[in-house]
Structure 1
């Protein structure tokens, strides 16, 4: 089973990431444009179509939301305790917590989900919901935590940033049209389908291009602590919550796998935007993504036994 997972899920993912890294080195791709294509076109289309074709019930929707809220809360508590014990500065504490709470559920998690579950609509819907909740967390807590005193009570930029995100709108609209059983005309559904089908390749090529811009550094202990919490403790928490909340079948498998994603690229983007430990953030993204080739293989193997 492990060999099959490596050959059918993990290797295809990292082949595309590797090609993206190679293309970035050779052609110096326009990462700004690639990110915008992913953020404003490909990902919203994939989320909308996943929700539109979803079999997710209202009860399951609430259970997944509860799972995610408990998951990030536990990570926050543990991260805060460890950051205090390491005597990190306030800026570093924010960067540290972001690195373990904000994972790559979008341009890494959704392709992994699509490959593991062979495009199953329910599994895709669950991952799309997790990604949407992650986006909400990123542009609320993520921004607030690293801006700190810079905000001085002015949350206008946070609200504007959230309102500009297309993914939540795509999520709500997809669920609404699905609930109302509204048929989509071909001139709407076909372009959305094309965009959804391109998501895996474009997202992973973009991820490869993004992470190669950061030089690899292997001497920072704080980076390894973050990666340990993100890749090992995160799945342990996810597994416990799946059993405590009694989530079985595909939903349980999808949530367990989703709990083991590497640190999100948005962590590094926010760190650069607000000049808060950008080097640390970049290293956690890069190293956690590299180590994830091992941990995600084990996690998928475990999830298949549920």
Structure 2
């Protein structure tokens, strides 16, 4: 079972990440443009269609929302406890917390979900919802935490940054079109389908190009704490919440896998943008993504027994 998952799900993901890394080495790809293609072109189409075709009930939507809120709060508490025990500076504490609560649910999580559940609309819509919640946390708490550590928080700027992203609107429209049973014209549905079909290849190429710019260094103890908590404690918290909320079947499996993602690239982007522990953030992204080959394989193999 584990070997099958490794060969059929995990290794294809890392082959595509590796190709992205090779292309970045060979051609110095424009990462800014790649990020814009993902955020404003591919991901909104995938999110809209997954929710439009899903059969997520209002009750399930509420449970997923509650799961995510509790998941982030518990990770935040763990982060505060560990960072205080290690006597981290305010800037380091902000970077450390971001490395735990900002995971790679988008350009890594969506492809993983797509391969594990073979494009099942319900599973995809669950991951899309988690990704949208991640965007909200990234552009509110994530931004404000590093701003506060450097020069004071700015809630208005953070909210404006979040509202400029199309993914939340795609999510709301997808849910609205689905619940109101609004037919999607073919001249709109087909182009959206073509765009969404490119998601896996483009998202993972982008991820490979992003992480290759950071050289691997193994001399910071905080990096190991972050990666351990992100890859091991995160899934444990996810598993406990699935049991607590009584989730079953695909929702339980999808949320457990979603709680097992590596540190998000946005962690490094925010750290670099505000010059707040950029080296630490880059190392957590790179190391957690590499080690996730092992942890995500195990979690996927165990997920079938959940619920």
TM class by shorter chain equals over 0.9
Q: 1:26-41 maps to which residues of 2 (within 5 A)?
A: 26-41=26-41
**Matched residue, 1:56:** 56
2-side partners of 1:153 and 1:222: how far apart? 24
C-alpha distance 151-172 of structure 1, shift in aligned 2 (>3 A): farther
Measured in 2, the distance between the counterparts of 1:34 and 1:8 equals 26
What TM-score do you get using the length of structure 2 for normalisation? Answer: 0.98
3-state SS, counterpart of residue 103 of structure 1: coil
Shift of 1:152: 4.2
Per mean C-alpha deviation after superposition, the further-off stretch among 150-159 and 94-103 is 150-159
Mapping of residues 1-306 of structure 1, within 5 Å: 1-148=1-148, 152=152, 154-306=154-306
Query: Counterpart of 2:247 in 1: which secondary structure?
Result: coil
After superposition, the C-alpha distances for 1:171-192 in whole angstroms (9 at most, x for unaligned) are: 0001001111111111111111
2: CA distance between counterparts of 1:142 and 1:152? 13
RMSD: 0.9
For residue 150 of structure 1, report the CA deviation from its aligned partner.
5.3
Gap change, CA 1:152 and 1:212, over 3 Å in 2:
closer
Residue 244 to residue 27, structure 1, CA distance change in 2 (3 Å): same
TM-score normalised to structure 1 length = 0.99
SS of the residue 1:69 aligns to = helix
Q: Name the SS for the 1:229 alignment partner.
A: helix
In structure 2, stretches of 5+ residues that fail to align are none
Q: Would the aligned equivalents of 1:144 and 1:151 in 2 still touch at CA under 8 Å?
A: no
CA distance in 1, matches of 2:16, 2:104: 16
What does the per-residue CA deviation read over 1:274-303, in whole Å, with 9 as the maximum and x for residues that have no partner?
111011000000000000000000000110
Q: SS at the partner of 2:183?
A: coil
- Whether the 8 Å CA contact 1:56–1:122 is kept in 2: the answer is yes
Q: How many residues align?
A: 306
For 2:170 and 2:131, the matched residues in 1 are separated by 12
Q: Structure 2: how far apart are the matches of 1:152 and 1:209?
A: 32
Question: 1:24–1:209: 8 Å Cα contact kept in structure 2?
Answer: yes
Q: Secondary structure at the match of 2:215?
A: coil
Superposition deviation, residue 149 in structure 1 = 5.7
State the alpha-carbon separation in 1 of the partners of residues 291 and 154 from structure 2.
38
